[in-house]
Amino acid sequence: MSSDAWAAFYHTDLQGVFALWVVPLAFLVYLAAVRPDPVRALDPMRTTFMWRYAVVFSIETLLDPLLGGPVIRALGLGGTPVATAVMVFFVLLGDFRVFLLLFALAAPARPLDRGGVLAAAGEAARWTLVVPFVALAVHGGLDALVGPLPAQSIWLVYELAFLALALGLRARLVPARLGLGHEGLRAYLQAVLAYVALYYALWAGADILILGGVDIGWLVRIVPNQLYYALWVPTAYLLFFSPRYAAISSSTQTSR
């Protein structure tokens, strides 16, 4: 295998598009065939929201690599500002879906009707901008301090910033918003934030290797790609209907 074989494979459509489609396509079939059971849901009042969330963001998962890769190239827009704008849009949308889930579920007293979803979306949109601004400021400061940095370094700064934010939200915001009476929901949101922290930590580790000239970093990067694109929506959805978190709520209510 040549010294840059993993980098070459990473940038193929096999890895960057089609391998990311397998799970979302299968999951959309599952969502169409199996309607959610409110009895099994962690919060029965959020069942419809979770199903719609899963459908919308499974479709988004399919569109992201397609539009950002083959479609952009077919239109002759590779390397242009349009390609950059598409990439940035989907990066922000990928983070927005995490915040939307978090703020929709972290307010159990708020009904998730149209107004409730819009309120959660507004809060999610504001939080979505935090890491980009921090990453640009930190990267710009480092660039001014030590000189021009490699292009990949902006992603490393972004990944480390989001890792810190996800862990902070998990430790601070979720317990603050979900106190007594919502232990199962709190445990669920902390679990999905730990999942987010995992794929950002893996991305950061991979980019450290890549910046160090280690080709296997591109192989490592494939793992968080699958966690982010293919597996995020199924994981978040299926955990919401997992008996594990319902059991936490039931045991807490029994103890009181």
List the chain domain ranges. 5-35+45-255
Q: At 250, is the pLDDT very low, low, confident or very high (cuts 50, 70, 90)?
A: low
Do 112 and 46 form a contact (C-beta atoms < 8 A)? Answer: yes
What token pair was written down for 99? 């915040």
Question: Could you give the dihedral angle defined by the CA atoms of residues 153, 158, 159 and 160, in that order, rounded to the nearest 10 degrees?
Answer: 90
CATH code assigned to 5-35+45-255: 1.20.1070
Q: At 123, is the pLDDT very low, low, confident or very high (cuts 50, 70, 90)?
A: very high
Q: At 256, is the pLDDT very low, low, confident or very high (cuts 50, 70, 90)?
A: very low
Q: At 120, is the pLDDT very low, low, confident or very high (cuts 50, 70, 90)?
A: very high
Over residues 4-9, the mean pLDDT reads 93
pTM over 0.85: yes
Give the percent of the chain with pLDDT over 70. 95
Q: At 149, is the pLDDT very low, low, confident or very high (cuts 50, 70, 90)?
A: confident
Q: At 248, is the pLDDT very low, low, confident or very high (cuts 50, 70, 90)?
A: low
Determine the pLDDT at residue 147. 75
Q: At 179, is the pLDDT very low, low, confident or very high (cuts 50, 70, 90)?
A: confident
pLDDT digits (tens, 9 = 90+) for 155-164: 999 999 999 9
pLDDT of 71 over the 60 cut: yes
Do 99 and 126 form a contact (C-beta atoms < 8 A)? Answer: no
> 156: which residues sit within 8 A by CB, 6+ positions away?
204, 207, 208, 211
Determine the pLDDT at residue 254. 44
Over residues 50-58, the mean pLDDT reads 98
Q: At 144, is the pLDDT very low, low, confident or very high (cuts 50, 70, 90)?
A: confident
> Which of residues 4 and 10 earns the better pLDDT score?
10
Determine the pLDDT at residue 255. 45
How far apart are the C-alpha atoms of 42 and 216, rounded to whole Å?
A: 40
> Which of residues 246 and 66 earns the better pLDDT score?
66
Indicate the average pLDDT of the chain.
Answer: 92
What token pair was written down for 34? 């199996």
pLDDT digits (tens, 9 = 90+) for 183-199: 999 999 999 999 999 99
